[in-house]
């Protein structure tokens, strides 16, 4: 395959993406890959220092990445994150990567709707 055609095929120019947990591991790699392919990416992380370090690195790489500190296990913080993302991307979100998880240790029959909200 011609490399120039491959680049065109995988262009994400004009796409917007939200990647949760984007400062470490798989999330970090996904943020970079999406941005390298041309997407405008917003990421979030619980640790503000890690987030700022990553944002500085991505800025030096000329990648279009913004970020905010957010603990997505908190409903209130998730709502603020979504408001921010809606504002940044003017209501258009093309790609969502849910890259965080939380764990609750209790029997399945004891879970409530609040556990999932």
- For 44-103, the pLDDT digits (tens) are 999 999 999 999 999 999 999 999 999 998 889 999 999 999 999 999 999 999 998 766
CATH numeric code, 3-100: 3.40.50.720
Angle of helix 48-60 relative to helix 25-36, nearest 10 degrees, comes to 30
Residue spans per domain, the chain: 3-100
**Count of residues making up the chain:** 117
- pLDDT at residue 7 above 80? no
Q: Residue 108, SS3?
A: helix
Q: Which two tokens stand for residue 72?
A: 């997505």
Largest CA distance in the chain: 55
Q: Is the pLDDT of residue 1 over 50?
A: no
Instruction: Tell me the average pLDDT across 29-43.
Output: 98
Amino acid 61: pLDDT: 97
């Amino acid at each position: 395959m011609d490399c120039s055609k491959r680049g065109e095929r995988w262009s994400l120019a004009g796409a917007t993406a939200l990647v949760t947990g984007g400062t470490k591991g798989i999330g970090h790699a996904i943020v970079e890959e999406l941005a390298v392919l041309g997407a405008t990416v917003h990421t979030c992380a619980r640790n503000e220092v890690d987030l700022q370090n990553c944002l500085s690195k991505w800025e030096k790489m000329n990648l279009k990445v913004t970020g905010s500190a957010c603990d997505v296990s908190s409903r209130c913080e998730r709502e603020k994150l979504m408001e921010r993302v809606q504002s940044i991307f003017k209501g258009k979100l093309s790609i969502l990567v849910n890259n965080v998880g939380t764990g609750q240790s209790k029997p399945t029959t004891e879970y409530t709707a609040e556990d999932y909200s």
